Chain A
């Protein structure tokens, strides 16, 4: 319904630059997530879009219209806050109806829309409850209904799940995703939880220090991180520094000593003499032949175990063993590790930027 364009945005707090220069496009009806560690500027950016933060330079436009100077009340946004921000003195129904009241929607229509919105988040039966009498999850459902009932041009969510417990978080994120799909509202979602971001987003912008590191679908970002920061922030990874051997137009690295692996398809011409390679834990498994290693410890986690092992080079590598293979490895056990070369990604050791061939890298910063 709404296309958002952020052009050369700049944000300062008392002379401190929070966001130096940021440009992004959010597509119509998209579920777009701003992901990053705390202090990366993601909430600042969200509040700039909402109109609660001033803009020092650049423009924000909704469907091509610059809205920099439009006050938040006139931006037609729905917002969901981390602490729910329900009006404590109003029942669930009146909370949801508040935005309709300010829009002077006739009473009968408003009542019907309130009922529909509450039903959509499965809170219809608690219409008359006060926020103080509801659980955190219930409050957040009402907050979601309140933001959606006004049929906003844009739905903004600021870490809406971080006050909920782990199990509820998973349940709520499914609700959010489902409700957003049905309503088809362009959504900007802020979180520091990469798993949550992967689960709900159409596209993700990974941010660090006020700069967008990479924009892409969850799969693109996971498989083809644009730089070391993204590789480390999204999922887990092992970073190994190696010499890149160029031979007869082929590129090789030795993960284990004297065991060169062909990585020609994975490194582009930008790669220098040394590279840093990112090895995802699931790309490593114990095998009959491979890189020799010694087990340091193993943590049993139910469906799988997490194993830490030391390579001959002294580097420590972490990988997963699935529990059905039953054999718990004791510390000190010697084993060989097979590494799935297709899943490796490569970075310049100094700049940390991906050195993958252009085609494979998913939309650089």
Chain B
């Protein structure tokens, strides 16, 4: 007698509905892009690809992007490793505050960094003018060097948080064992610790790679002649250089192929090198004295100053007087007052769209992670794979895919509130699902069985036992998702109208329009919002490991 009930219950219908939703809202739009990359006027054609590879103007952007990405990934790791090493091994005064500040610098909207470095080191920048008055020619912030600087500062915190998470799994006995065999200091860090952290580092560097490769705001603002591939996608899609859409689609496909390849290589390496570790006794930081303390504090603070300077510049600039968008002498609230109506619109859009996306995101993430952890099967396996698709697809391309698929019947969504919510939710889902899945894996199945054995129905078990027990973790994940939603730019760049324009889109538009004062004011508001959210996260998250 087979008991088939386990297969066909409410959960099965949910899995089916989610799979159908993903196929329609994520897979199909991406397939549309794929199809349009190999068609022209309804017939099969590889014109898009051949155009791309025929001119250095185009394929050069790919090599530019790869160069930037590799350099940023390596550089970010080189900077972040000592940072995490110091924070773990040594007792640093105000360590918690410093960690929050490092995190905050990562959470600042990606393009604000670029924008404020222009304010500092641009042609008419603060430092540039100051150096010029002293008779020195400032190094140019535009182009490759600028992108490298901005992206590295932006992504060091990301690797740093990954590393800190990995450090927490290293048991102090491993370090003591190494020490008892006479291996100490940097030799120990390289020979014992680095290999232990490697899987995490690889996991983190993939994220850095994908982010750097797909970043649009920074190269757009600061790259000038140095064009990266997201900039090419953008300009060809909005038609500035007026090339057909099959070309933009072809470039998008090339980008997906590259990120997918990197993802697979990384997965291959990580899968063979993962070891399970839990620290019974985590590392106890030791007190530092003398010149070593100076060195360590110097390193940490130098990084913090570089990482936070842009934010400070933006905040200060927002209070400067402007004339025709350019900064002039004197300080006032004028930037805020003159743009009042826009500010209200941006902020209310940010909240309404952001919160809706967040709710959708959390509900779907809880359902998917429950299904993939507790109901392993062909259907949930497929669902799990599908939800990870946006992980390797840059936001810009998700935007293009959605606009291509939903600008014509059966479903017309362009310009709507729905498409904004949809884009943001899709973009963020892989991350939220991963963090929720991690929570779900730690949650013993017998707790659920205990509830059922006591007579609770499945929905009741989910709502009264599972979700409340995981609530702190889910909430912490949600705040983090919220921060990335409100700072997201590239995904929604093609999708907004004035009635769905959010803060980050507003900043971008104002910078492009040359309204630097308004842009600074908006950036300040976004920063404050981000900081408040992060403080909330620290309160509810406690010492929980923060995953981005």
Interface residues of A (CB under 8 A from B): 50, 52, 54-57, 59, 68-69, 71-79, 81-83, 85-89, 98-99, 102-103, 143, 146-147, 150, 156
Q: Give the chain B neighbours of A59 by CB distance below 8 A.
A: 1
Q: How far is the CB of B464 from chain A (nearest CB, A)?
A: 8
Q: Would B453 and A86 count as touching, CB distance under 8 A?
A: no
Q: How far is the CB of B215 from chain A (nearest CB, A)?
A: 40
A128 to B364, CA, bound (A): 34
Q: Given that A73-B456, A82-B446, A85-B444 are contacting pairs, would A98 and B5 also be in contact in the complex, using a CB cutoff of 8 Å?
A: no
Q: How far is the CB of B104 from chain A (nearest CB, A)?
A: 30
Q: Give the chain A neighbours of B5 by CB distance below 8 A.
A: 69, 71
Q: Would A55 and B1 count as touching, CB distance under 8 A?
A: yes
Q: Would A57 and B1 count as touching, CB distance under 8 A?
A: yes
Q: Would B449 and A85 count as touching, CB distance under 8 A?
A: yes
The answer to whether B469 has its CB under 8 Å from any CB of chain A is yes
Q: Would B453 and A78 count as touching, CB distance under 8 A?
A: yes
Beta-carbon contacts of B444-464 to A below 8 Å, as 1s and 0s? 101101111111110010001
Q: How far is the CB of B470 from chain A (nearest CB, A)?
A: 9
A345 to B396, CA, bound (A): 79
Q: Given that A86-B447, A89-B469 are contacting pairs, would A56 and B2 also be in contact in the complex, using a CB cutoff of 8 Å?
A: yes
How would you classify the secondary structure of chain A's contact residues: helix, strand, loop or mixed?
Answer: loop
Q: Would B449 and A102 count as touching, CB distance under 8 A?
A: no
In the complex, 21 of the A-B residue pairs with CB atoms within 8 angstroms, ordered by the A residue number, are A54-B6, A72-B452, A73-B457, A74-B455, A76-B455, A78-B453, A78-B454, A79-B450, A81-B446, A85-B446, A85-B449, A85-B450, A87-B450, A87-B451, A87-B468, A89-B469, A89-B471, A98-B451, A98-B456, A98-B464, A102-B454
Of B6, B450, B454, chain A has the most CB atoms within 10 Å of the CB of: B454
A156 to B454, CA, bound (A): 12
Nearest residue, chain A, Cβ from B1? A68
The answer to whether B323 has its CB under 8 Å from any CB of chain A is no
> Beyond the given A72-B449, A85-B446, could you list 17 further A-B residue pairs with CB under 8 A, ordered by the A residue number?
A50-B453, A54-B2, A54-B3, A54-B6, A57-B1, A69-B1, A69-B3, A73-B457, A76-B455, A79-B449, A81-B446, A87-B469, A89-B469, A99-B454, A99-B455, A147-B453, A156-B453
Q: Would A73 and B453 count as touching, CB distance under 8 A?
A: yes
Q: Which of A69, A72, A87, A103 contacts B453 (CB 8 A)?
A: A72
Nearest residue, chain B, Cβ from A80? B450
Q: Would A81 and B2 count as touching, CB distance under 8 A?
A: no
Q: Given that A55-B3, A68-B1 are contacting pairs, would A85 and B455 also be in contact in the complex, using a CB cutoff of 8 Å?
A: no
The answer to whether B18 has its CB under 8 Å from any CB of chain A is no
A50 to B455, CA, bound (A): 12
Q: Would B454 and A150 count as touching, CB distance under 8 A?
A: yes
Q: How far is the CB of B82 from chain A (nearest CB, A)?
A: 36
Q: Would B460 and A81 count as touching, CB distance under 8 A?
A: no
Q: Would A85 and B3 count as touching, CB distance under 8 A?
A: no
A142 to B453, CA, bound (A): 15
A83 to B452, CA, bound (A): 16
Q: How far is the CB of B141 from chain A (nearest CB, A)?
A: 51
Q: Give the chain B neighbours of A83 by CB distance below 8 A.
A: 444, 446
A76 to B452, CA, bound (A): 10
The answer to whether B192 has its CB under 8 Å from any CB of chain A is no
Q: How far is the CB of B264 from chain A (nearest CB, A)?
A: 28
Q: How far is the CB of B377 from chain A (nearest CB, A)?
A: 12
Q: How far is the CB of A82 from chain B (nearest CB, A)?
A: 7
Nearest residue, chain B, Cβ from A103? B455
The answer to whether B198 has its CB under 8 Å from any CB of chain A is no
Beta-carbon contacts of B436-449 to A below 8 Å, as 1s and 0s? 00000000101101
The answer to whether B465 has its CB under 8 Å from any CB of chain A is yes
Q: Give the chain A neighbours of B456 by CB distance below 8 A.
A: 73, 98, 102
